[in-house]
Amino acid sequence: MFNIVMFGPPGSGKGTQSKHIAIKYKLAHLSTGDVLRAECESGSDLGKQISALIDNGNFVPDDMIQRMVKKFILSNTGTKGFILDGFPRTINQIEWLDNMLAEIGEEVSVFLSLDVEEEELKNRILKRGNYSQREDDQNVDIIKTRIGVYHDKTKPVIDYYRNQNKYFEIDGGSSQQDVFNEACVVLDEIKKSRK
Ligand code: AMP
Protein backbone atom coordinates (compact mmCIF):
# COMPACT_ATOMS: atom_id res chain seq x y z
CA MET A 1 0.00 0.00 0.00
CA PHE A 2 1.03 3.60 -0.61
CA ASN A 3 0.26 5.41 2.66
CA ILE A 4 0.55 9.17 2.93
CA VAL A 5 0.44 11.45 5.94
CA MET A 6 -0.52 14.94 4.80
CA PHE A 7 0.95 17.44 7.19
CA GLY A 8 0.91 21.18 7.77
CA PRO A 9 -0.35 23.94 10.05
CA PRO A 10 -4.01 24.97 10.14
CA GLY A 11 -4.86 26.79 6.90
CA SER A 12 -2.00 25.25 4.91
CA GLY A 13 -4.37 23.55 2.47
CA LYS A 14 -4.03 19.95 3.74
CA GLY A 15 -7.71 19.24 3.22
CA THR A 16 -7.91 20.50 -0.35
CA GLN A 17 -4.69 18.85 -1.44
CA SER A 18 -5.56 15.56 0.27
CA LYS A 19 -8.84 15.38 -1.66
CA HIS A 20 -7.09 15.87 -5.01
CA ILE A 21 -4.26 13.47 -4.16
CA ALA A 22 -6.75 10.82 -3.00
CA ILE A 23 -8.55 11.01 -6.35
CA LYS A 24 -5.40 10.97 -8.49
CA TYR A 25 -3.71 8.07 -6.65
CA LYS A 26 -6.95 6.23 -5.82
CA LEU A 27 -6.35 6.35 -2.08
CA ALA A 28 -8.82 6.16 0.79
CA HIS A 29 -8.97 9.57 2.49
CA LEU A 30 -9.56 10.32 6.16
CA SER A 31 -9.88 13.89 7.42
CA THR A 32 -10.09 13.61 11.21
CA GLY A 33 -11.37 17.21 11.40
CA ASP A 34 -14.22 16.48 8.94
CA VAL A 35 -15.33 13.38 10.86
CA LEU A 36 -15.28 15.32 14.14
CA ARG A 37 -17.24 18.21 12.63
CA ALA A 38 -19.85 15.75 11.31
CA GLU A 39 -20.27 14.41 14.86
CA CYS A 40 -20.69 17.98 16.14
CA GLU A 41 -23.34 18.69 13.51
CA SER A 42 -25.27 15.56 14.52
CA GLY A 43 -26.04 17.36 17.79
CA SER A 44 -25.21 14.24 19.86
CA ASP A 45 -23.87 14.55 23.43
CA LEU A 46 -20.49 13.44 22.15
CA GLY A 47 -20.73 16.06 19.40
CA LYS A 48 -21.33 18.76 22.01
CA GLN A 49 -18.25 17.68 23.98
CA ILE A 50 -16.15 17.67 20.81
CA SER A 51 -17.50 21.04 19.77
CA ALA A 52 -16.42 22.61 23.06
CA LEU A 53 -12.84 21.52 22.35
CA ILE A 54 -12.64 22.27 18.63
CA ASP A 55 -14.34 25.66 18.85
CA ASN A 56 -11.69 26.78 21.32
CA GLY A 57 -8.82 25.52 19.20
CA ASN A 58 -7.95 22.59 21.51
CA PHE A 59 -7.28 18.96 20.64
CA VAL A 60 -9.75 16.15 21.01
CA PRO A 61 -8.52 13.28 23.28
CA ASP A 62 -6.21 10.72 21.70
CA ASP A 63 -8.34 7.67 22.47
CA MET A 64 -11.26 9.08 20.49
CA ILE A 65 -9.12 9.99 17.48
CA GLN A 66 -7.22 6.70 17.59
CA ARG A 67 -10.45 4.70 17.57
CA MET A 68 -11.55 6.62 14.47
CA VAL A 69 -8.22 6.12 12.68
CA LYS A 70 -8.05 2.43 13.52
CA LYS A 71 -11.55 1.82 12.19
CA PHE A 72 -10.70 3.67 8.98
CA ILE A 73 -7.41 1.85 8.40
CA LEU A 74 -8.79 -1.60 9.17
CA SER A 75 -11.67 -1.06 6.78
CA ASN A 76 -9.25 -0.04 4.02
CA THR A 77 -6.65 -2.80 4.11
CA GLY A 78 -6.13 -4.32 0.69
CA THR A 79 -6.71 -0.98 -1.08
CA LYS A 80 -4.02 0.95 -2.95
CA GLY A 81 -3.37 2.91 0.23
CA PHE A 82 -4.63 5.79 2.30
CA ILE A 83 -4.06 9.46 2.96
CA LEU A 84 -4.39 10.76 6.51
CA ASP A 85 -5.26 14.43 6.77
CA GLY A 86 -5.04 15.88 10.29
CA PHE A 87 -3.47 12.82 11.92
CA PRO A 88 -0.97 12.23 13.52
CA ARG A 89 -0.70 15.57 15.30
CA THR A 90 1.41 14.63 18.33
CA ILE A 91 4.38 12.38 19.07
CA ASN A 92 2.07 10.12 21.04
CA GLN A 93 -0.25 9.77 18.04
CA ILE A 94 2.67 8.95 15.73
CA GLU A 95 3.98 6.23 18.00
CA TRP A 96 0.52 4.74 18.26
CA LEU A 97 0.10 4.89 14.46
CA ASP A 98 3.42 3.21 13.75
CA ASN A 99 2.64 0.37 16.18
CA MET A 100 -0.85 -0.05 14.83
CA LEU A 101 0.40 -0.19 11.23
CA ALA A 102 3.22 -2.60 12.15
CA GLU A 103 0.62 -4.98 13.55
CA ILE A 104 -0.95 -5.27 10.10
CA GLY A 105 2.38 -5.29 8.23
CA GLU A 106 2.02 -1.73 6.96
CA GLU A 107 3.81 1.59 7.45
CA VAL A 108 3.64 5.26 6.52
CA SER A 109 5.23 5.53 3.06
CA VAL A 110 5.58 9.30 2.91
CA PHE A 111 5.08 12.28 5.13
CA LEU A 112 4.22 15.26 2.94
CA SER A 113 4.43 18.61 4.65
CA LEU A 114 3.01 21.92 3.37
CA ASP A 115 5.03 24.96 4.31
CA VAL A 116 3.12 28.27 4.50
CA GLU A 117 4.08 31.57 6.14
CA GLU A 118 2.26 32.37 9.38
CA GLU A 119 0.68 35.64 8.20
CA GLU A 120 -0.66 33.89 5.12
CA LEU A 121 -2.14 31.12 7.33
CA LYS A 122 -4.06 33.63 9.43
CA ASN A 123 -5.39 35.40 6.33
CA ARG A 124 -6.46 32.15 4.70
CA ILE A 125 -8.23 30.86 7.80
CA LEU A 126 -10.12 34.12 8.33
CA LYS A 127 -11.15 34.12 4.66
CA ARG A 128 -12.33 30.50 4.96
CA GLY A 129 -14.26 31.53 8.09
CA ASN A 130 -16.47 33.74 5.91
CA TYR A 131 -18.06 30.69 4.33
CA SER A 132 -16.99 27.61 6.37
CA GLN A 133 -19.29 28.33 9.35
CA ARG A 134 -16.41 27.02 11.48
CA GLU A 135 -16.23 28.93 14.74
CA ASP A 136 -12.54 28.09 15.02
CA ASP A 137 -11.98 29.89 11.69
CA GLN A 138 -13.69 33.12 12.70
CA ASN A 139 -11.92 34.39 15.79
CA VAL A 140 -8.38 35.75 15.63
CA ASP A 141 -7.52 34.61 19.19
CA ILE A 142 -8.66 31.06 18.50
CA ILE A 143 -6.71 30.99 15.26
CA LYS A 144 -3.64 32.09 17.23
CA THR A 145 -4.29 29.30 19.77
CA ARG A 146 -4.49 26.72 16.95
CA ILE A 147 -1.24 27.91 15.41
CA GLY A 148 0.35 27.93 18.90
CA VAL A 149 -0.81 24.33 19.54
CA TYR A 150 0.63 23.42 16.15
CA HIS A 151 4.04 24.80 17.12
CA ASP A 152 4.06 23.22 20.59
CA LYS A 153 2.56 19.81 19.97
CA THR A 154 2.45 19.08 16.26
CA LYS A 155 5.65 20.47 14.78
CA PRO A 156 7.89 18.03 16.72
CA VAL A 157 6.29 15.30 14.62
CA ILE A 158 8.44 16.51 11.70
CA ASP A 159 11.71 15.30 13.23
CA TYR A 160 10.31 11.85 13.81
CA TYR A 161 9.65 11.30 10.12
CA ARG A 162 12.74 13.22 9.04
CA ASN A 163 14.83 10.69 10.97
CA GLN A 164 13.09 7.92 9.04
CA ASN A 165 13.86 9.67 5.70
CA LYS A 166 10.15 9.90 4.98
CA TYR A 167 9.83 13.66 5.31
CA PHE A 168 9.16 15.75 2.18
CA GLU A 169 8.35 19.42 2.33
CA ILE A 170 6.69 21.43 -0.41
CA ASP A 171 5.87 25.11 -0.72
CA GLY A 172 2.20 25.44 0.20
CA GLY A 173 2.15 29.20 -0.39
CA SER A 174 1.51 29.12 -4.13
CA SER A 175 -1.75 28.45 -6.01
CA GLN A 176 -3.72 25.26 -5.31
CA GLN A 177 -2.83 23.93 -8.75
CA ASP A 178 0.88 24.64 -8.33
CA VAL A 179 0.95 23.00 -4.89
CA PHE A 180 -0.85 19.96 -6.31
CA ASN A 181 1.59 19.73 -9.24
CA GLU A 182 4.54 19.92 -6.88
CA ALA A 183 3.02 17.28 -4.60
CA CYS A 184 2.52 14.95 -7.59
CA VAL A 185 6.15 15.35 -8.67
CA VAL A 186 7.29 14.29 -5.19
CA LEU A 187 4.80 11.43 -4.91
CA ASP A 188 5.53 10.09 -8.42
CA GLU A 189 9.23 10.10 -7.65
CA ILE A 190 8.69 8.15 -4.43
CA LYS A 191 6.37 5.67 -6.13
CA LYS A 192 8.97 5.10 -8.86
CA SER A 193 11.73 4.47 -6.33
CA ARG A 194 9.57 1.83 -4.57
CA LYS A 195 9.26 -0.33 -7.70
P1 AMP B 1 -8.66 20.26 11.10
O2 AMP B 1 -9.90 20.26 10.27
O3 AMP B 1 -7.67 19.20 10.71
O4 AMP B 1 -8.03 21.63 11.21
O5 AMP B 1 -9.11 19.86 12.58
C6 AMP B 1 -10.04 20.67 13.29
C7 AMP B 1 -9.94 20.37 14.78
O8 AMP B 1 -10.26 18.99 15.02
C9 AMP B 1 -8.58 20.55 15.40
O10 AMP B 1 -8.31 21.91 15.74
C11 AMP B 1 -8.71 19.68 16.64
O12 AMP B 1 -9.51 20.29 17.62
C13 AMP B 1 -9.51 18.49 16.12
N14 AMP B 1 -8.61 17.43 15.60
C15 AMP B 1 -8.46 17.02 14.30
N16 AMP B 1 -7.54 16.06 14.20
C17 AMP B 1 -7.07 15.85 15.46
C18 AMP B 1 -6.07 15.00 16.01
N19 AMP B 1 -5.33 14.20 15.24
N20 AMP B 1 -5.85 15.05 17.35
C21 AMP B 1 -6.58 15.87 18.16
N22 AMP B 1 -7.52 16.71 17.70
C23 AMP B 1 -7.77 16.72 16.37
Query: Which of 107, 85, 91 is closest to 160 using CA atoms?
Result: 91
Residue 175: band (very low, low, confident or very high) from pLDDT cuts 50, 70, 90: very high
Let me know: does 46 contact 39? Beta carbons within 8 Å. Answer: yes
| Residues sharing a CB contact under 8 Å with residue 139, sequence separation 6 or more, in sequence order | none
Where do runs of H (alpha helix) occur along the chain? 14-25, 32-42, 45-54, 62-74, 91-103, 118-132, 140-149, 157-163, 176-194
* Kind plus residue range of the DSSP H or E element containing 28: strand 28-31
Task: Give the Å distance between the CA of 49 and the centre of ligand 1.
Answer: 14
Summarised one tens digit per residue, pLDDT across range 30-39 is 999 999 999 9
* Per-residue pLDDT reduced to its tens digit, 127-154: 999 988 888 999 999 999 999 999 999 9
Which of 6, 29, 31, 36 is the best mutation target for the ligand 1 pocket, counting ligand atoms within 8 Å of the beta carbon and taking the most? Answer: 36
- Tell whether omega for the bond before 88 is within 30 degrees of 0, i.e. cis: yes
Ligand 1 centre to CA of 86 (Å) is: 6
Confidence bin at 90 (pLDDT 50/70/90): very high
Report if pTM > 0.85: yes
Q: Give the per-residue pLDDT at 194.
A: 84
How do residues 43-60 score in pLDDT, each as one tens digit?
999 999 999 999 999 999
Task: Please work out whether the CB of residue 10 comes within 6 Å of at least one atom of ligand 1.
Answer: yes
